[in-house]
């Protein structure tokens, strides 16, 4: 029964993310750009990206998706999306109708994207979320490459395939949910360490993501059209774009198709790798690297008169695209609190929609005759600006989005002692015994380990620390003894000692906060303590709350 449920969850994840999320997002890049370039102008893609961004913002701000009780309702958004794509396929003769359909499709894409991201948020442990999202998004990128190739063969066939595939996503998802094999709760099921300012990090991520999406929109606009450039242009960068156009057209695929076949194929491999790196080293280093690669990519654009550099640039460009989609899918899930997953994912993905629309608009403006003479200066200023912006997340978010070992901190803690200056243990708690009660298998693995062995040496350590303080020497913070770490924090008249398998930053923060809480609540009792341990019984509750013991 459990195996059947896991298989059903995997199938639903694949459908909602790989097909439902990725194909509907890149619909605004691949088939829609082909459609607009053929019938109208690439600038009309604004009518997809702006509604998507605004819808995500509205859904997130008003918590509309979180408030819907019947989650299977969202399966129908994929079905409606597919039906509208089929109608769009036959509406090219009516520009007004086409634009209205694209606006509705952009709004529905917001629901599809948030639904897929929410499912990952609620069902994947945080320490495997990057890798899991990377795998499914990688498969999605592979589908993007395939649909880009189909667009080259026949745009109408691509529309039909995308429409039918998303109708099937909605239909199969509804059957899975309605059968009871899969349950959509959209509630954080896993404990997430948040020793940082969520609101501050949310704003930094949003603005940084908006900058990236704007960059992506500009590049896609420039690479998605040749009609605005000619050989007479006196611009170093635009001359290199013309060389790129000629190289891409030599493959007889069309610019948009060439780009997304190359990027999609590379991201099929890159997405799981980048997702795994995010889980291992934390989101922040990969986020910083991705921001830093943007100006690097722009610099390489100046040297596109070499085929080898085109390949290198496309690889870097692919890494940026892959990492940012994974970041959007994981970071907002990490930041989301309790039952507000839809709110955070909505606000997060709005930056991509609004940034994409802004990028298309800026791409159009900087390629008008009035701006062509200044485009090289604009690119240089953009490189400098993006280089500065890329540093903001790295500098400002020192305590956020820790690596996997920090996220699994609860597995490392063994015992905690709160010791009075005289060496008497005022309160203690065994995390190991707590885990043994929850899982008997842990007891078998660690039955020879007795945490009480530590208590005999605590008094001596306390005396040593008191002597060190009296002699004005630096306070000891950590004792490293083989596979055990003793982490110390000091209050007035007492010392907190946490025994763990690893010396993690989050454990130091939690121990410091706990010590401050004890200091604030029991300062008077500690100062006039008469040896009655019952006075400090509430400390156990404080320990459980701080270290999230249910």
Give the confidence band of 451 by pLDDT, cuts at 50, 70, 90.
very low
CB 123 within 8 A of CB 16: no
> Nearest-CA neighbor of 332 among 309, 352, 305, 314?
352
Q: What is the pLDDT of residue 472?
A: 45
CB 140 within 8 A of CB 19: yes
Q: What is the pLDDT of residue 396?
A: 62
First to last CA, the chain: 28
Lowest mean pLDDT among 352-361, 386-395, 452-461, 508-517: 452-461
Q: What is the pLDDT of residue 145?
A: 93
Domain boundaries for CATH 1.20.1250.20 within the chain: 2-406
482 Rama sector, left if φ>0, alpha if ψ -120 to 50, beta otherwise: left
- 301-305, 415-419, 457-461, 466-470: which has the highest mean pLDDT? 415-419
Q: What is the pLDDT of residue 193?
A: 56
In the predicted model, what is the mean pLDDT of the chain? 80
Span 2-406: which CATH code?
1.20.1250.20
Q: What is the pLDDT of residue 463?
A: 58
Pairwise pLDDT comparison (166 vs 472), residue with the higher score = 166
SS3 label, residue 483: coil
Output b/e per residue, 301-314; b: 16+ Cβ within 10 A.
Answer: bbebeeeeebeebb
> What is the average per-residue pLDDT within 241-264?
84
Residue 452 has pLDDT above 50, yes or no: no
> What is the average per-residue pLDDT within 194-210?
76
Q: Tokens 């900058």, residue?
A: 211
Residue 179 has pLDDT above 70, yes or no: yes
pLDDT in tens, 57-69: 999 988 888 888 7
- 431-440, 454-463, 464-473, 491-500: which has the highest mean pLDDT? 491-500
Residue 502 has pLDDT above 70, yes or no: yes
Domain boundaries for CATH 3.30.450.70 within the chain: 409-546
Q: What is the pLDDT of residue 3?
A: 63
Structure-block tokens of residue 7: 């298989």
DSSP 8-state assignment for residue 113: H
Lowest mean pLDDT among 150-159, 189-198, 209-218, 396-405: 396-405
pLDDT in tens, 92-151: 788 889 999 999 999 999 999 998 888 887 777 777 888 989 999 999 999 999 989 998
Span 409-546: which CATH code?
3.30.450.70
Residue 320 has pLDDT above 80, yes or no: yes
> What is the average per-residue pLDDT within 264-282?
90
SS3 label, residue 206: helix
pLDDT in tens, 370-384: 666 667 777 777 777
- 354-358, 382-386, 411-415: which has the highest mean pLDDT? 354-358
The Cα 550–Cα 546 span in angstroms is: 11
Pairwise pLDDT comparison (364 vs 126), residue with the higher score = 364
Q: Tokens 């629901």, residue?
A: 111
> What is the average per-residue pLDDT within 497-519?
87
Residue 189 has pLDDT above 70, yes or no: no
Report the 10 Å Cβ neighbour count for 272.
22
Q: What is the pLDDT of residue 446?
A: 43
What is the share, in percent, of the chain residues with pLDDT greater than 90?
19
> What is the average per-residue pLDDT within 80-90?
94
Residue 447 has pLDDT above 50, yes or no: no
SS3 label, residue 499: strand
Q: What is the pLDDT of residue 373?
A: 63
> What is the average per-residue pLDDT within 232-251?
75
Q: What is the pLDDT of residue 138?
A: 94
Residue 402 has pLDDT above 60, yes or no: no
Burial class (CB in 10 A: 0-12, 13-18, 19+), 369: exposed
What angle is formed at CA 142 by the lines to CA 275 and CA 42, rounded to 5 degrees?
A: 105
Pairwise pLDDT comparison (322 vs 421), residue with the higher score = 322
Q: What is the pLDDT of residue 57?
A: 93
Lowest mean pLDDT among 234-238, 289-293, 393-397, 462-466: 462-466
The Cα 492–Cα 526 span in angstroms is: 8
Q: What is the pLDDT of residue 401?
A: 53
Q: What is the pLDDT of residue 192?
A: 58
Please report, for residues 2, 123, 300, 375, the alpha-carbon distance to residue 6 in angstroms, rounded to integers and kept in the order given: 6, 11, 45, 53
């Amino acid at each position: 029964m459990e195996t059947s449920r896991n298989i059903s969850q995997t199938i639903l994840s694949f459908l909602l993310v790989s097909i439902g999320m990725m194909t509907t997002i890149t619909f605004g890049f691949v088939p829609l750009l082909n459609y607009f370039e053929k019938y109208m102008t690439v600038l009309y893609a604004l009518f997809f990206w702006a509604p998507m961004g605004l819808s995500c913002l509205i859904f997130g701000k008003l918590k509309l998706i979180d408030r819907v009780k019947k989650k299977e309702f969202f399966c129908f958004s994929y079905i409606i999306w597919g039906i509208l794509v089929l109608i769009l396929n036959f509406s090219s003769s009516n520009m007004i109708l086409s634009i209205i359909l694209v606006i509705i499709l952009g709004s529905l894409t917001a629901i599809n994207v948030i639904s897929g991201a929410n499912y990952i948020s609620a069902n994947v442990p945080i320490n495997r979320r990057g890798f899991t999202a990377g795998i499914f998004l990688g498969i999605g990128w592979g589908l993007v490459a395939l649909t880009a190739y189909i667009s080259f063969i026949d745009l109408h066939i691509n529309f039909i395939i995308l429409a039918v595939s998303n109708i099937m996503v909605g239909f199969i998802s509804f059957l899975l949910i309605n059968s009871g094999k899969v349950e959509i709760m959209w509630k954080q099921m896993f404990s997430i360490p948040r020793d940082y300012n969520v609101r501050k990090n949310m704003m930094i991520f949003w603005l940084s993501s908006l900058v990236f999406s704007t960059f992506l929109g500009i590049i896609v606009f420039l690479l998605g059209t040749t009609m605005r450039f000619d050989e007479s242009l006196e611009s170093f960068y635009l001359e290199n774009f013309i060389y790129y156009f000629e190289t891409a057209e030599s493959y007889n695929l069309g610019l948009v198709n060439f780009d997304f076949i190359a990027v999609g194929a590379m991201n099929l491999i890159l997405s799981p790798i980048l997702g795994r790196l995010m889980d291992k080293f934390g989101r922040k280093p990969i986020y910083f690297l991705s921001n830093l690669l943007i100006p690097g990519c722009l610099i390489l654009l100046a040297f596109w008169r070499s085929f080898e550099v085109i390949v290198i640039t496309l690889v870097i460009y692919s890494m940026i695209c892959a990492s940012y989609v994974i970041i959007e899918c994981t970071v907002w899930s990490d930041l989301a609190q309790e039952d507000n997953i839809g709110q955070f994912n909505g606000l997060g993905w709005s930056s991509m929609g609004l940034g994409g629309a802004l990028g298309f608009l800026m791409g159009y403006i900087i390629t008008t005759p009035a701006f062509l003479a200044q485009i090289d200066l604009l690119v240089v200023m953009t490189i400098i600006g993006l280089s500065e912006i890329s540093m903001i997340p790295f500098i400002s978010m020192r305590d956020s989005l820790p690596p996997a070992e920090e996220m699994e901190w609860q597995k490392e803690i063994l015992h905690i002692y709160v010791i009075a200056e005289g060496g008497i243990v005022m309160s203690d708690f065994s995390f190991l015994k707590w885990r043994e009660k929850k899982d008997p298998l842990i007891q078998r693995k660690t039955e020879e380990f007795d945490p009480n062995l530590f208590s005999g040496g605590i008094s001596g350590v306390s005396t040593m620390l008191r002597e060190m303080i009296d002699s004005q020497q630096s306070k000891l913070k950590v004792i490293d003894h083989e596979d055990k770490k003793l982490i110390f924090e000091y209050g007035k008249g007492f010392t907190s000692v946490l025994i763990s398998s690893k010396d993690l930053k989050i454990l130091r923060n939690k121990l410091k906060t706990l010590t401050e809480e004890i200091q604030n609540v029991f300062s008077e009792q500690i100062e006039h303590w008469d040896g009655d341990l019952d006075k400090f019984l509430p400390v156990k509750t404080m320990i459980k709350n701080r270290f999230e013991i249910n």
